[in-house]
Protein backbone atom coordinates (compact mmCIF):
# COMPACT_ATOMS: atom_id res chain seq x y z
CA UNK A 1 0.00 0.00 0.00
CA UNK A 2 2.95 2.32 0.62
CA UNK A 3 4.02 2.07 -3.02
CA UNK A 4 0.50 2.83 -4.27
CA UNK A 5 -0.07 5.81 -1.98
CA UNK A 6 3.37 7.21 -2.85
CA UNK A 7 2.25 7.55 -6.48
CA UNK A 8 -0.96 9.26 -5.35
CA UNK A 9 -3.20 6.20 -5.69
CA UNK A 10 -5.22 3.99 -3.37
CA UNK A 11 -6.05 0.27 -3.33
CA UNK A 12 -9.31 -0.75 -1.64
CA UNK A 13 -9.22 -4.31 -2.95
CA UNK A 14 -6.41 -5.77 -0.81
CA UNK A 15 -8.70 -7.26 1.85
CA UNK A 16 -10.73 -9.10 -0.78
CA UNK A 17 -7.55 -10.21 -2.55
CA UNK A 18 -6.33 -11.69 0.73
CA UNK A 19 -9.58 -13.67 0.97
CA UNK A 20 -9.52 -14.89 -2.65
CA UNK A 21 -5.85 -15.87 -2.61
CA UNK A 22 -6.29 -17.60 0.77
CA UNK A 23 -9.25 -19.77 -0.26
CA UNK A 24 -7.58 -20.78 -3.54
CA UNK A 25 -4.37 -21.70 -1.71
CA UNK A 26 -6.31 -23.60 0.95
CA UNK A 27 -8.26 -25.54 -1.68
CA UNK A 28 -5.02 -26.70 -3.28
CA UNK A 29 -3.59 -27.66 0.11
CA UNK A 30 -6.55 -29.92 1.01
CA UNK A 31 -6.83 -31.46 -2.47
CA UNK A 32 -6.50 -35.23 -2.24
CA UNK A 33 -5.24 -35.48 -5.81
CA UNK A 34 -2.09 -33.42 -5.13
CA UNK A 35 0.69 -34.68 -2.82
CA UNK A 36 1.42 -32.39 0.13
CA UNK A 37 5.01 -31.90 -1.03
CA UNK A 38 3.73 -30.44 -4.30
CA UNK A 39 0.58 -28.79 -2.92
CA UNK A 40 2.45 -26.42 -0.62
CA UNK A 41 4.62 -24.66 -3.26
CA UNK A 42 1.74 -24.80 -5.76
CA UNK A 43 -0.66 -23.15 -3.31
CA UNK A 44 1.86 -20.40 -2.55
CA UNK A 45 2.46 -19.73 -6.24
CA UNK A 46 -1.29 -19.65 -6.90
CA UNK A 47 -1.86 -17.17 -4.09
CA UNK A 48 0.94 -14.87 -5.23
CA UNK A 49 -0.19 -15.17 -8.85
CA UNK A 50 -3.74 -14.12 -7.99
CA UNK A 51 -2.41 -11.13 -6.07
CA UNK A 52 -0.13 -9.99 -8.90
CA UNK A 53 -2.82 -10.42 -11.57
CA UNK A 54 -5.45 -8.45 -9.65
CA UNK A 55 -2.92 -5.76 -8.77
CA UNK A 56 -1.84 -5.54 -12.40
CA UNK A 57 -5.46 -5.22 -13.54
CA UNK A 58 -6.09 -2.46 -11.00
CA UNK A 59 -3.13 -0.47 -12.29
CA UNK A 60 -3.67 -1.22 -15.97
CA UNK A 61 -7.36 -0.26 -15.97
CA UNK A 62 -6.63 2.87 -13.97
CA UNK A 63 -3.95 3.97 -16.43
CA UNK A 64 -5.68 2.87 -19.61
CA UNK A 65 -8.88 4.82 -18.98
CA UNK A 66 -7.41 7.45 -16.61
CA UNK A 67 -9.95 6.68 -13.89
CA UNK A 68 -9.02 7.29 -10.27
CA UNK A 69 -7.84 4.13 -8.58
CA UNK A 70 -10.42 4.62 -5.80
CA UNK A 71 -13.22 3.71 -8.21
CA UNK A 72 -11.40 0.85 -9.93
CA UNK A 73 -10.21 -0.83 -6.74
CA UNK A 74 -13.62 -0.36 -5.12
CA UNK A 75 -15.11 -2.35 -7.97
CA UNK A 76 -12.31 -4.92 -7.80
CA UNK A 77 -12.93 -5.28 -4.07
CA UNK A 78 -16.44 -6.51 -4.80
CA UNK A 79 -15.33 -8.68 -7.70
CA UNK A 80 -12.64 -10.46 -5.67
CA UNK A 81 -14.92 -10.93 -2.65
CA UNK A 82 -17.71 -12.27 -4.84
CA UNK A 83 -15.26 -14.61 -6.58
CA UNK A 84 -14.10 -15.95 -3.21
CA UNK A 85 -17.69 -16.54 -2.11
CA UNK A 86 -18.58 -18.26 -5.36
CA UNK A 87 -15.41 -20.36 -5.31
CA UNK A 88 -16.04 -21.69 -1.81
CA UNK A 89 -19.87 -21.54 -1.91
CA UNK A 90 -19.56 -19.57 1.33
CA UNK A 91 -18.08 -22.55 3.18
CA UNK A 92 -15.01 -22.79 5.40
CA UNK A 93 -11.96 -24.79 4.37
CA UNK A 94 -10.15 -26.52 7.21
CA UNK A 95 -7.87 -29.48 8.01
CA UNK A 96 -4.90 -27.94 6.23
CA UNK A 97 -1.67 -30.00 6.18
CA UNK A 98 0.05 -29.93 9.57
CA UNK A 99 3.46 -29.30 8.03
CA UNK A 100 2.08 -26.11 6.44
CA UNK A 101 0.17 -24.90 9.48
CA UNK A 102 3.17 -25.52 11.71
CA UNK A 103 5.01 -22.62 10.08
CA UNK A 104 2.36 -20.21 11.36
CA UNK A 105 3.12 -21.12 14.98
CA UNK A 106 6.91 -21.32 14.82
CA UNK A 107 8.69 -18.94 17.17
CA UNK A 108 12.36 -18.09 16.71
CA UNK A 109 14.37 -17.83 19.93
CA UNK A 110 11.20 -18.80 21.72
CA UNK A 111 9.39 -15.47 21.37
CA UNK A 112 9.73 -14.08 17.83
CA UNK A 113 7.01 -15.39 15.46
CA UNK A 114 8.31 -16.60 12.10
CA UNK A 115 5.60 -14.62 10.32
CA UNK A 116 7.00 -11.44 11.89
CA UNK A 117 10.40 -12.28 10.39
CA UNK A 118 8.73 -12.66 6.98
CA UNK A 119 7.10 -9.24 7.40
CA UNK A 120 10.41 -7.70 8.49
CA UNK A 121 12.20 -9.11 5.44
CA UNK A 122 9.53 -7.70 3.12
CA UNK A 123 9.80 -4.30 4.81
CA UNK A 124 13.59 -4.30 4.36
CA UNK A 125 13.24 -5.27 0.69
CA UNK A 126 10.63 -2.56 0.15
CA UNK A 127 12.83 0.00 1.88
CA UNK A 128 15.78 -0.98 -0.32
CA UNK A 129 13.69 -0.67 -3.50
CA UNK A 130 12.38 2.77 -2.56
CA UNK A 131 15.70 4.21 -1.40
CA UNK A 132 18.37 2.44 -3.42
CA UNK A 133 16.90 1.83 -6.89
CA UNK A 134 15.94 3.96 -9.88
CA UNK A 135 12.46 2.42 -9.74
CA UNK A 136 12.01 3.66 -6.18
CA UNK A 137 13.17 7.17 -7.03
CA UNK A 138 10.65 7.36 -9.86
CA UNK A 139 7.88 6.18 -7.52
CA UNK A 140 8.59 9.20 -5.32
CA UNK A 141 8.96 11.54 -8.29
CA UNK A 142 5.66 10.45 -9.85
CA UNK A 143 3.91 11.25 -6.58
CA UNK A 144 5.45 14.73 -6.56
CA UNK A 145 5.40 15.63 -10.25
CA UNK A 146 4.26 12.98 -12.71
CA UNK A 147 4.50 15.37 -15.65
CA UNK A 148 8.21 15.91 -15.01
CA UNK A 149 8.83 12.16 -15.22
CA UNK A 150 6.85 11.94 -18.45
CA UNK A 151 8.71 14.85 -20.01
CA UNK A 152 12.02 13.22 -19.10
CA UNK A 153 11.15 10.40 -21.50
CA UNK A 154 9.95 7.76 -19.05
CA UNK A 155 6.65 5.89 -19.31
CA UNK A 156 4.96 6.65 -16.00
CA UNK A 157 2.31 3.98 -16.62
CA UNK A 158 4.91 1.22 -16.19
CA UNK A 159 5.86 2.44 -12.74
CA UNK A 160 2.29 3.03 -11.62
CA UNK A 161 1.05 -0.36 -12.79
CA UNK A 162 4.08 -1.97 -11.13
CA UNK A 163 3.19 -0.27 -7.84
CA UNK A 164 -0.31 -1.79 -7.94
CA UNK A 165 1.13 -5.19 -8.88
CA UNK A 166 3.47 -5.04 -5.88
CA UNK A 167 0.52 -4.19 -3.64
CA UNK A 168 -1.41 -7.16 -5.02
CA UNK A 169 1.60 -9.44 -4.54
CA UNK A 170 1.81 -8.45 -0.87
CA UNK A 171 -1.91 -9.18 -0.46
CA UNK A 172 -1.28 -12.65 -1.93
CA UNK A 173 1.53 -13.22 0.58
CA UNK A 174 -0.80 -12.05 3.36
CA UNK A 175 -3.34 -14.66 2.25
CA UNK A 176 -0.77 -17.45 2.63
CA UNK A 177 0.39 -16.15 6.00
CA UNK A 178 -3.20 -15.92 7.23
CA UNK A 179 -4.12 -19.53 6.55
CA UNK A 180 -0.77 -20.72 7.93
CA UNK A 181 -1.51 -18.84 11.14
CA UNK A 182 -5.26 -19.52 11.50
CA UNK A 183 -5.40 -23.04 9.93
CA UNK A 184 -8.68 -22.23 8.16
CA UNK A 185 -9.83 -20.22 5.17
CA UNK A 186 -13.13 -18.74 4.09
CA UNK A 187 -14.38 -15.91 1.89
CA UNK A 188 -15.07 -13.70 4.90
CA UNK A 189 -11.47 -13.14 5.92
CA UNK A 190 -9.71 -9.86 5.20
CA UNK A 191 -12.75 -7.65 5.75
CA UNK A 192 -11.48 -4.20 6.69
CA UNK A 193 -7.84 -5.10 6.02
CA UNK A 194 -7.62 -2.39 3.37
CA UNK A 195 -8.49 0.25 5.98
CA UNK A 196 -5.85 -1.10 8.37
CA UNK A 197 -3.26 -1.01 5.60
CA UNK A 198 -4.15 2.54 4.61
CA UNK A 199 -4.16 3.62 8.26
CA UNK A 200 -0.70 2.11 8.85
CA UNK A 201 0.71 3.94 5.82
CA UNK A 202 -0.83 7.33 6.63
CA UNK A 203 -0.11 7.15 10.37
CA UNK A 204 3.45 6.19 9.43
CA UNK A 205 3.92 9.55 7.75
CA UNK A 206 3.28 8.82 4.08
CA UNK A 207 1.46 11.72 2.46
CA UNK A 208 -1.99 10.84 1.15
CA UNK A 209 -1.22 13.09 -1.82
CA UNK A 210 1.83 10.99 -2.70
CA UNK A 211 5.51 11.70 -3.09
CA UNK A 212 6.50 11.53 0.56
CA UNK A 213 6.81 8.59 2.95
CA UNK A 214 8.82 5.49 3.76
CA UNK A 215 8.57 1.80 4.52
CA UNK A 216 10.07 2.45 7.94
CA UNK A 217 7.24 4.83 8.72
CA UNK A 218 4.67 2.29 7.54
CA UNK A 219 6.23 -0.35 9.78
CA UNK A 220 6.02 1.99 12.77
CA UNK A 221 2.45 2.90 11.83
CA UNK A 222 1.48 -0.78 11.74
CA UNK A 223 3.15 -1.32 15.11
CA UNK A 224 1.26 1.64 16.55
CA UNK A 225 -2.06 0.26 15.35
CA UNK A 226 -1.18 -3.15 16.78
CA UNK A 227 -0.25 -1.68 20.14
CA UNK A 228 -3.40 0.45 20.14
CA UNK A 229 -5.62 -2.56 19.36
CA UNK A 230 -3.93 -4.76 21.96
CA UNK A 231 -4.22 -2.04 24.59
CA UNK A 232 -7.91 -1.57 23.86
CA UNK A 233 -8.47 -5.34 24.03
CA UNK A 234 -6.77 -5.49 27.43
CA UNK A 235 -9.03 -2.66 28.57
CA UNK A 236 -12.05 -4.68 27.50
CA UNK A 237 -13.10 -2.29 24.74
CA UNK A 238 -15.55 -3.83 22.26
CA UNK A 239 -14.36 -4.56 18.68
CA UNK A 240 -16.81 -2.00 17.30
CA UNK A 241 -15.40 0.78 19.48
CA UNK A 242 -11.87 -0.31 18.51
CA UNK A 243 -12.78 0.04 14.85
CA UNK A 244 -14.15 3.52 15.51
CA UNK A 245 -10.96 4.55 17.31
CA UNK A 246 -8.72 3.32 14.47
CA UNK A 247 -10.88 5.28 12.03
CA UNK A 248 -10.59 8.39 14.18
CA UNK A 249 -6.80 8.03 14.35
CA UNK A 250 -6.72 7.75 10.54
CA UNK A 251 -8.74 10.96 10.14
CA UNK A 252 -6.44 12.81 12.55
CA UNK A 253 -3.37 11.53 10.66
CA UNK A 254 -4.77 12.82 7.34
CA UNK A 255 -5.52 16.23 8.88
CA UNK A 256 -1.99 16.42 10.34
CA UNK A 257 -0.55 15.46 6.94
CA UNK A 258 -2.53 18.28 5.31
CA UNK A 259 -1.23 20.87 7.79
CA UNK A 260 2.31 19.53 7.44
CA UNK A 261 2.09 19.74 3.66
CA UNK A 262 0.74 23.31 3.80
CA UNK A 263 3.58 24.36 6.11
CA UNK A 264 6.15 22.72 3.82
CA UNK A 265 4.73 24.47 0.75
CA UNK A 266 4.69 27.80 2.57
CA UNK A 267 8.34 27.40 3.56
CA UNK A 268 9.32 26.52 -0.02
CA UNK A 269 7.47 29.57 -1.37
CA UNK A 270 9.22 31.77 1.17
CA UNK A 271 12.63 30.39 0.18
CA UNK A 272 11.90 31.04 -3.49
CA UNK A 273 10.79 34.61 -2.77
CA UNK A 274 13.93 35.27 -0.69
CA UNK A 275 16.11 33.91 -3.48
CA UNK A 276 14.39 36.10 -6.06
CA UNK A 277 14.75 39.12 -3.76
CA UNK A 278 18.50 38.48 -3.33
CA UNK A 279 19.00 38.16 -7.08
Whose CA is closest to 22, among 168, 163, 180? 180
Number of domains in the chain: 1
What's the predicted TM-score (pTM) here? 0.94
202-228: burial string, b at 16+ Cβ within 10 Å, e else: bbbbbbbebbbbbbbbbbebbebbeeb
The rounded distance, in Å, linking the Cα atoms of 44 and 40 is: 6
State the pLDDT at residue 83: 97
Query: 39: domain range?
Result: 2-278
HEC profile of 56-68: HHHHHHHHHHCCC
Tens digits of pLDDT across the chain (279 residues): 999 999 999 999 999 999 999 999 999 999 999 999 999 999 999 999 999 999 999 999 999 999 999 999 999 999 999 999 999 999 999 999 999 999 988 998 888 999 999 999 999 999 999 999 999 999 999 999 999 899 989 999 999 999 999 999 999 999 999 999 999 999 999 998 999 999 999 999 999 889 999 999 999 999 999 999 899 999 999 988 988 998 898 899 888 888 887 887 777 777 766 776 666
CB atoms within 10 A of CB 130: 20
DSSP secondary-structure letter at 107?
E
Distance CA 53, CA 43 (A): 15
Amino acid sequence: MTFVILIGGIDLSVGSVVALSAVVAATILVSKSIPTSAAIPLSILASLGIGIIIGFLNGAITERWKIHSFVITLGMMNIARGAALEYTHATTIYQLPKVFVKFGSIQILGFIPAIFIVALILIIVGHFILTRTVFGRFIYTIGNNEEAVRLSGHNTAIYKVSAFAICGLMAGIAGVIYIARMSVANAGIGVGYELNAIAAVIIGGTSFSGGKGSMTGTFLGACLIGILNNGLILRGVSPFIRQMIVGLVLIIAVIVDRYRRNISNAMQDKMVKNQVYKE
